Structure 1
Amino acid sequence: KNFKSAQALATHEGKCPKRAAAATQHFRAHRDTYMELQEAENELLDEIKEEFDVFEDRKVEMDNSAVEPGLSPPHDPVPDGTTERQSRKRVLPTKYNDFFVISNESAFVKRRRHAHTPPEEGKTPEHFEPSSPSEATILSPHEPPSPVPVENLDEHSISQAQDDLQQAEADDTPPFIYKTKPDSMNMFRIYQFNMPSRIPDLDQTTSDVTDAPTFITDTSQKNSEQVFGQRAWPTSNDESNLLNPLSPTPSFFSEAPPPSLSMRSYAPFDSAAEFLIVDWSYHHPSNNSSSLNSLVNDVLRNPDFRSSIDALDTFNAESSLKKMDKFVTSSTLPQLAETSEDSGSNETFPFLSAAPDMWYSGEINLPMPHKSNQSEATAPQLKIKEVWYRKPMDAIRASFEEEIFFDYHLKSYKSFYNRSVDGRVERVYSEAYTSNRAAEMEEDLNSQFPSSSGSPGGGLSVENVIVWIMLWSDSTHLAHFGTASLWPIYMYIGNLSKYVRIKPSAYAAHHLAYIPSLPDLVTDAYEQEFGCTPTDAVLRFLKREIIHAVYFLLLDPDFLQAYLNGLLVMCADKIIRRLFPRFFSYSADYPERILIACIKYLGEWLCTRCLIRMPNVNLLGLTRDMANRERLRRIYNEQLLNKIEKAREFIFEKGHGPESKAVKDLLDHGSLTPCRNAFSTVLGPHGFDVFKMIVPEKLHEWDVGRVKDFLSHLVRILHCRGKKQVNLFDRRFRWVPTFGRGVIRIFHNNVSGMKKLAGRDYTAILECLLPVVEGLLPEKENKVLLKIIFDMLTWNSHAKLRLHTDSSVSTFKIATRDLGMAFRLFVTDICSSFDTVELPRERTARLKREASQDKEFRAQGNKKKTFRNDTVKNHMLGYYPWAVTYYGPNDSHDTKIGEQEHKRVKRYYSRTNKHNHAAQIANHERRVRCLHRARQRNARDQSQKARTRLTVGAWEEEKLLPTDPYLRYQMASEKRYFLDLTGFEHETRHDPAATEFLHKLKHYVLCQLYVLYFST
């Protein structure tokens, strides 16, 4: 059927009764195509497996022929699950086969060599089950040397590493894919390149993932010195020595810390009692029953407090706070070192964390546009002083040297799930480091610095680690009364799991900077320079320039150097790694996203990701809309950069206004602004695309966006039906019972008023809306309304999922398509039947707004209101299914995380004197981080246990029962304790009985595996 216009086609698609059948047919066609692709890939993999089996059999025969009789092979063979070479194809039962390469579009469909893993010792194939989810099944024959502790480096190991690197460079074999064994949930991982040197959830126990009032969690701290030995303290920090394999370990200490400053030090405080008092005061600013209980249980009854209570005889709160302010990171930084005024000495306290973690007071200069200017360089500058910021690399380095490093994932991987029902394998999306963007960044880094080619600049090969930087920024109001506000920039490390990152107690948020607002004195400064007041266009231009001027401060030469060549850092496990910072995501609401993207607010091209014009943003879910999003994707290229530079020449050299016709003609296509982007200017020449960094966020676009708009218009429709319907609507909501722990709360106030509701409140209203509105509209509209609400609930449930699979992403796309149709159906079939006007509260707000603008004509009657689909919030919903695969699920980068961190700065503001609060908040942030580090160093296990602990920590030892001293050995009886072999080897390095223990143990285990392997 032909349609005269696109609008007619869109209307037909929204009302067509056969749309459900068409959707089912489309889904079946997609499924059939998917299955055909899967079968073709499986056939290709079978051919690869046969070639690899022949190659391995020949290799084993050559290795066995080269070994003398009676000696074990010198290298680990790669068993293939068979015993002898046969002429026919050797196939194990399906339940014992490994999945070599995943048969879907998101897997690595490359020609790789894979191998089976032999059964464990003592188990036959009939009852063999993989034991560890993180045990790799594939090892590269030319894998680069693993990172080693500094004290274990010698000339022999260095020369051996160089030989391995030369051999790897000469070998042109393709890189390996590392696959782990399936765990108890049939999930496994694939690492595209090298396996990481450590996996944080490898030693994860049941206590680490359980949370219930009757459970006792394991709070034992991981002491890395028990595994890797004492830390080496260098005497020089020369950057040239960092690439020398024989040079000392880089550190910010000029010498070893004094013996008195042990790992249980309370520095900078003189005693444990002083630390506990100050730490309690910062954690409990209000005097309530909870804080008093904490004072008694955590402070007064603490054994360390009672043993050092005499030190409080000279306690002074102000002096204790000054100790933290003077607690510098290193005596090698004279510009940061401060001496103790009380003692009069020149002694400085070294931070147990090696990296300097300081706040700096910077200054930004904004060029003021005017027609009298000759050029941008000579234009008068608006100076904004006291811009408080931290260097990003200092914060990153500090985080990798703290205890939180043990929770960092050092390599990205792709997680897969083997469905036990039909045997299909699906990709699983859960974290930032399991997303396509993380894999894309790691592949790009590996192409620049392959694992086998060593590190940039030469020297010893160290592990390259990408630091996925996730940014949040949002202005917040600090005071209940007054105009005090703060515009912070938060940085989170994407290597950390989102389940740890969202915990305020983890202190995972790094405050990078506090963006200043445009001062009120800008009018006086502008008038003093040019003799006239600035126009609104000039003020808007200066406001856009502020945020990028701050980012120019953050993207300093140190960051660029680390971005290009990496930064050598000794991590918390005493191993040197090279860190490469990469911007993973930027989460902000729409007014701040356009500042980062340098586009106009609600312009003709209003999206920060594509160039779809405003009249076409209401086509959510249609096939051509999804195609246009990819075809018209924004790209920050050289042509776009030249247009912005040309527009700035018009402003500063030719005297045109920032919003003059000449500038608009140049930048109107794409709704651009004449603002120089800091990210594209510094990192753009090196392949960084700022538009890829901007992510969709559910809080402002859905919860307080489309859901709020829908509920508001639904209430307008009920007002058209009469006050009785509105009262019935509120009464039914009051009947809704509570559900879960804070999931659905009691609706005390009238929902129709929608007064002071948060994002979670709108979500709760939507989840309870279906039975509430049933029967409130006429039968025809009621049936359509219930269908629309059901489609909204379906989409909402997909968007809230914390773990997605390929199947859920496919249904998410279908739900997005149905949601777009539902919104268009709401306009055509329901809204057109009612003459809706603004609500009473909306009318009051409009009159106040017009009165403040001093308008001569004010509409005294009710203004007509309609439901709109041509909004940017509606348009952004189409990116959510794609964002799941590219960035991870929404809860990993939602703006709720940044909103939660606002609570912390508001607590800091309550401690200030309300004058120059940004500097004081920065000082309080540093104090709290100092207290957190001291608390980590002195953490103790819980003394009271509600029940037997489920598991124990990896660093705890079993207490054996008394036994006969004449026995040669004593066997342990508990299975929940295990021995760290690396730590055992280090502790017994001087014991003749343990000479080459680890080598002999591996030899024994290998021989036993050979016996079991060939016997089965």
Structure 2
Amino acid sequence: MSWQYSGSVTKSTTELQCLVNDVLLDPRFEKDDLLGFNASREKHRLDGYRTTSGAFSANNGWHELEVELHLPKERIMHDSEASTESFFVHGIWARSLTEVVKTAFQDIISHKYHWFPHQLFRRLSPLAPLEQMYTDVYNSDAMLEEHNEIQKMTRHPDDPPDLEYAVCALTVYSDSTHLAQFGTASLWPIHVLVANLSKYFRLKPTMFAAHHLAYVPTLPPAFFEWYKDLYGAPPSPAVIRLLKYDLMQKIWLELLDPQFMHTYVHGILVDCGDGVLRRLFPRIFLYSVDYPEKCLVACLKFLAKCACPECLIEKTDFDEMGTETDLQNCVVKRRVDSNVLHAAVAKAREWIFNLGRTPEGCNVKATVLNKVSITPTRSAFSIRFAKFKKNVYNLFVPDLMHEFELGVWKSTFTHLIRVLIAAGQDGVQMLDERFSRVRTFGRGVIRPFGGNISGMKKLAARDFEQILICSMPVFEGLLREPYNTIILDLIFQLACWHAYAKLMLHTEPTLGAFEATTVSLGKAMRRFVSKVCPAFHTKELLRETQSHQRRKAASLPKTAGQHATTSEDDSAAKVKTFNINTIKYHRMADYTCMIRRTGTSDNSNTQTGELEHRRLKSFYKRTNKNRSFGHQVATEVRRQAILDRISRGIPASSKRHKTQNRQTSTRLGRRDLRVRFEEQQPLSDTPLTDHHHMSIEQRYPENILDFMQTNTGDPACTDFLRDLKGHLLLRLRGGATIPADHEPTDADLACVRICANQLYRQKVLRVNYTTYNMRRSQDSINPQTHPDIMMVAPEGSTHPYLYARVIGLLHVNAYLAGDDLSGAEDTEPRAVQVLWVRWFDVDTRAPGIKSRRLPRLKWASTDDTPFGFIAPRQVLRTAQLIPAFNHGQSDTALPGPSIARQDDEDDIDWIDHYVGIFVDRDMFMHYCGDGVGHQNTTNNEAARPHANMDLNDELDPDILPQVDTEADAIVVDDTSADADVPDDYENLSSDVDGDMEDDSGTGSGSEHDNEGEWSTDDEDNLGPEDGENECLLSDEYEYAHMSYAPL
């Protein structure tokens, strides 16, 4: 313990526990091995750990680059660009891209690579047509086209006929990040990921699949001094912008060096980690960056007339997103990297450097560059790949995190707050209160909302995502009609679009629904702008006023700033209108084309890079924080990579099952059957093949008669024993032989015996299920924290699911008594696990999904059967139920105090609840249909594909992209419940210029770096409802814990 409190203050209790469990208690640990240990010497040896080839080749190390920038000056002529004065930018730490490719494919993980692309299809019935499925880069049309081109190439004369030619699929990510909470230290990394590896591995931070390629500097302060000394005046803003573009392009030209381009054309022989020699041809499919960096890499003018990196639609027409004209223009007006643009760039640079013209002057503006919003700098990707007929603009796919979650939705939510403020009364206060009452859900999917959501302080992308998921019940009724209806329609469409955009597996029907949703969303957004926005005089929020005041103060000269005072006009909030003529809104129509071309959006989402920033921030803490910290961070990255690969080659020690001090509950007079948080009941690992897992320990016994006597008068306990015995009768005799509507007689119930009249309280029920994308995942149910569940409804029901709230998790030892009083005919006692539940009824009066509303539930009436027992195997999943705040509270459904209510409900119920169908991807697919893995989750036609999604909008099929199915494919036949799983399936247990949004990504300081595995020892095997492992992002958990499941 004293070690923890010595030296660094960052040694947490978790780290101390890891030191004990993973090092000191490891059977392989030998104290004698540390005799003479010197940390500095060992790190030096680690840095020198290089071989002539393989994953740790010396050629794979980091080296420093420098690039030369030629400096133009207005009205100063030169003979040529090469003859102008130049400035060398140093401190560019980089690795050889060719060596990165070799390292990635020599790694032992390469045995999980997909060497040959393929397409996935499914068939719903023997006579139904094939439906293509889209999920990863290696089954995308883009990679299949590259593969076919390579196979048609003339083979290298020295290659044997059986040598495999394979595509090395690369995706690139880059973004600048702040390394410290205070100060200006920052790093601009470029990461490369190998898309031959499944995204369920590739996107996990703990897999270290992101290869750090380079750390990009900005223009250093010395440059400005050099320029001023050279020309006698500081560089103009136009020159600075030009040189920033030049710097990025010259860095990329160094990375795409002649060695890489030779490899691109002729391939490279690599002895891959699976022991097979192959010739690899690297191809870059995606470049994931936020919008400012898209402009920088693609050499586009920032927020200019033609602001889109993929098309030439003008910014004034961005508000027409989703219309037929817009969808046609997205195809007709595609950007093309043509020779005309190359010649125009060369001519413009000749004017700038040779004739001393202004980079953004009239001469340059008169060229075609200004018409298409291109800068007088040619992209490095165009220079390298245009001769191979590659269009550089196809690399820059939409970015869901920055463009929607931190873009369209954030700006929409912000304006909704402005509208509530303009409407007066207490709408904002009610909104904050309602959000604070929304329960958490799952493993970090919905986290606790603070008490000031409207303030939007330090919210990350995941926070805005969960705000969207829960917004409909919160906003309901805060404004008068017709504005309430319009806003709820808009939020529903935004949530529906977001759910489709985040699907990790798409089919042709879901893409068709996605396209229809995009059209409907465009209409809903324009209706909001035309009907709601003009009705309210909206002004800036306080934080927006303070932000523009700070920007204005920073823009003043220092001498003027010392005497400047804030005028009354500056301190007053300005009128703020809602703007949808933004690039982020416009790009919402591009997602379906991207998915068909390169796979689902998670392949290109910049969230992956934002998570990688955590490593950089942790490494920065280990540097001396001087100007050379970039090299030190690079060194730490390499050290960790070497140690990770070494550790994967060493057999892991056998797992140790930790023991817990068992505690018996000492609480007397217990009123309910819930196991409290402070009471211990760890579960062992749950096999993925099992449907559920609940303890059968007898640690927390409860006498049934005493329990009923203690709760006399509680409606929940009136028929407790009779209902329990009725349920046990079905279970003990076999439910298949007894009709579901059978009413047991007193004689039937009399033969059900419960040993010692004891029941045993349990804490957590884990439920495994197959997700829509054919993987296995897990929910955890705890009556104390996450009690709501859903089940498949009986055949013929009008709604596909039943809903209930779990009051208690129990097991009893029960048997059936025979007629012989001696007990000779009695059955053997057996442990029977049951869930005591309070039922919901679906409110058939509610509009429902067909009317763009969430399904609404009401409590089962006391005149019906409000309470009952079910078997754990009946549970399909946990459900997110959000109170219908606008409908108020009442105790009509359950008069008086009752143990059936949660501790925080004050003996009163919310009258209605809404089903959170958008809470995660799998839940959404249960309601919209077409979930490939949801074959046996419903017997109702009501849950068939899009039966409930009445979007009232149809797209003209003539303007939709056509899909080529003339390719090799893997067919998943949905007609068989035992369809084979393909062999390649793995098993794994700040506002800028108004339009741009804060791109802080996943936020700093709000998340942890630790990511769990399916079967872990460091959680005591507690479910998330026990308060454990709530730190993971929902996406991180999905990548960490899901495994492929047979259909």
Give the TM-score normalised by the residue count of structure 2.
0.60
Residue among 587, 605, 613 paired with 1:876: 587
Contact 2:179 2:186 in 1 (8 A): yes
Contact 1:455 1:462 in 2 (8 A): no
Larger CA deviation: 895-904 vs 382-391: 382-391
Aligned residue in 2 for 1:1009 = none
TM alignment of 1:676-687, pairs within 5 A: 676-687=378-389
Residue among 617, 625, 631 paired with 1:914: 625
Q: Deviations over 1:392-448 (max 9, x none)?
A: 111110111111101110011000111149633210101111111111222222333
Residue among 644, 649, 652 paired with 1:940: 652
TM alignment of 1:857-1006, pairs within 5 A: 858-915=569-626, 916-940=628-652, 942-944=654-656
Q: CA deviation at 1:530?
A: 2.2
Contact 2:55 2:107 in 1 (8 A): no
Aligned residue in 2 for 1:782 = 484
Aligned residue in 2 for 1:216 = none
Say whether residues 1:368 and 2:71 are aligned partners.
Answer: yes
Aligned residue in 2 for 1:358 = 61
Secondary structure of the corresponding residue to residue 870 of structure 1: coil
Q: Deviations over 1:255-299 (max 9, x none)?
A: xxxxxxxxxxxxxxxxxxxxxxxxx9xxx9941222122212221
Q: Deviations over 1:147-178 (max 9, x none)?
A: xxxxxxxxxxxxxxxxxxxxxxxxxxxxxxxx
How many residue pairs are counted as aligned between the two chains?
646
Aligned Cα RMSD in Å? 2.2
TM alignment of 1:425-440, pairs within 5 A: 425-440=130-145
Structure-1 separation of matches of 2:331 and 2:392:
16
Say whether residues 1:324 and 2:20 are aligned partners.
Answer: no
Q: Deviations over 1:328-355 (max 9, x none)?
A: 222xxxxxxxxxxxxxxxxxxx867568
Contact 1:328 1:351 in 2 (8 A): no
Contact 2:168 2:282 in 1 (8 A): yes
Contact 1:605 1:670 in 2 (8 A): yes
More strand by share: 2
Secondary structure of the corresponding residue to residue 891 of structure 1: helix
Q: CA deviation at 1:851?
A: 2.3
Structure-2 separation of matches of 1:533 and 1:786:
53
Structure-1 separation of matches of 2:46 and 2:535:
67
Q: Write the letter of the residue equivalent to 2:394.
A: K
Q: Deviations over 1:367-416 (max 9, x none)?
A: 11122322111111110112100011111101111111011100110001
Q: Deviations over 1:769-823 (max 9, x none)?
A: 1111111111211111111111111111101111100000000000000111111
Q: Write the letter of the residue equivalent to 1:912.
A: T
Structure-2 separation of matches of 1:457 and 1:301:
54
Q: Write the letter of the residue equivalent to 2:308.
A: C
Q: Write the letter of the residue equivalent to 2:85.
A: P
Contact 2:171 2:192 in 1 (8 A): yes
Aligned residue in 2 for 1:574 = 275
Contact 2:397 2:594 in 1 (8 A): yes
Alpha-carbon distance change, 422 to 713 in structure 1, aligned in 2, over 3 angstroms: farther
Aligned residue in 2 for 1:501 = 202
Identity percentage of aligned residues: 38
Aligned residue in 1 for 2:248 = 547
Q: Deviations over 1:833-868 (max 9, x none)?
A: 111111122112222222222398754432111111
Structure-1 separation of matches of 2:271 and 2:200:
26
Larger CA deviation: 595-604 vs 855-864: 855-864
Aligned residue in 2 for 1:763 = 465
More helix by share: 1
Structure-1 separation of matches of 2:521 and 2:99:
45
Say whether residues 1:751 and 2:458 are aligned partners.
Answer: no
Aligned residue in 2 for 1:727 = 429
TM alignment of 1:251-290, pairs within 5 A: 286-290=10-14
Structure-1 separation of matches of 2:127 and 2:520:
28
Structure-1 separation of matches of 2:58 and 2:386:
28
Contact 1:414 1:427 in 2 (8 A): yes
Contact 1:470 1:585 in 2 (8 A): yes
Residue among 366, 369, 386 paired with 2:91: 386
Q: Write the letter of the residue equivalent to 1:701.
A: E
Structure 1 gaps of 5+ residues are: 1-279, 331-349, 952-979, 981-1016
Secondary structure of the corresponding residue to residue 457 of structure 2: coil
Contact 2:50 2:56 in 1 (8 A): no
Say whether residues 1:304 and 2:28 are aligned partners.
Answer: yes
Alpha-carbon distance change, 577 to 354 in structure 1, aligned in 2, over 3 angstroms: farther
Structure-1 separation of matches of 2:159 and 2:47:
40
Secondary structure of the corresponding residue to residue 212 of structure 2: strand
TM alignment of 1:703-722, pairs within 5 A: 703-722=405-424
Q: Write the letter of the residue equivalent to 1:509.
A: A
Say whether residues 1:396 and 2:101 are aligned partners.
Answer: yes
Residue among 482, 486, 499 paired with 1:797: 499
Q: Deviations over 1:615-663 (max 9, x none)?
A: 1111111111111011110011211111111111111111112111111
Contact 1:401 1:571 in 2 (8 A): yes
Q: Write the letter of the residue equivalent to 2:70.
A: P
Q: Write the letter of the residue equivalent to 1:303.
A: P
Q: Write the letter of the residue equivalent to 1:894.
A: N
Q: CA deviation at 1:301?
A: 2.3
Secondary structure of the corresponding residue to residue 681 of structure 1: helix
Alpha-carbon distance change, 689 to 616 in structure 1, aligned in 2, over 3 angstroms: same
Alpha-carbon distance change, 803 to 448 in structure 1, aligned in 2, over 3 angstroms: same
Structure-2 separation of matches of 1:589 and 1:822:
26
Structure-2 separation of matches of 1:847 and 1:361:
41
TM alignment of 1:121-270, pairs within 5 A: none
Q: CA deviation at 1:457?
A: 5.9
Q: Write the letter of the residue equivalent to 2:41.
A: S
Alpha-carbon distance change, 942 to 687 in structure 1, aligned in 2, over 3 angstroms: farther
Say whether residues 1:411 and 2:134 are aligned partners.
Answer: no
Structure-2 separation of matches of 1:683 and 1:461:
29
Give the TM-score normalised by the residue count of structure 1.
0.62
Structure-2 separation of matches of 1:358 and 1:700:
32
Secondary structure of the corresponding residue to residue 148 of structure 2: helix
Q: Write the letter of the residue equivalent to 1:921.
A: V
TM alignment of 1:529-544, pairs within 5 A: 529-544=230-245
Q: Write the letter of the residue equivalent to 1:544.
A: Y
Structure-2 separation of matches of 1:543 and 1:942:
54
Q: Deviations over 1:189-211 (max 9, x none)?
A: xxxxxxxxxxxxxxxxxxxxxxx
Aligned residue in 1 for 2:517 = 815
Aligned residue in 1 for 2:216 = 515
Contact 2:26 2:653 in 1 (8 A): no
Q: Write the letter of the residue equivalent to 2:549.
A: L
Structure-2 separation of matches of 1:859 and 1:590:
29
Secondary structure of the corresponding residue to residue 60 of structure 2: coil
Contact 2:108 2:274 in 1 (8 A): no
Contact 1:355 1:397 in 2 (8 A): no
Q: Deviations over 1:472-508 (max 9, x none)?
A: 0000001111110000000000101111011122110
Structure-1 separation of matches of 2:157 and 2:345:
34
Q: Write the letter of the residue equivalent to 2:602.
A: D
Structure-1 separation of matches of 2:573 and 2:13:
50
Q: CA deviation at 1:462?
A: 1.2
Structure-2 separation of matches of 1:821 and 1:437:
32
Structure 2 gaps of 5+ residues are: 658-683, 690-982, 984-1047
Structure-2 separation of matches of 1:471 and 1:642:
28
Contact 1:355 1:398 in 2 (8 A): no
Contact 2:171 2:284 in 1 (8 A): yes
Residue among 438, 443, 468 paired with 1:741: 443
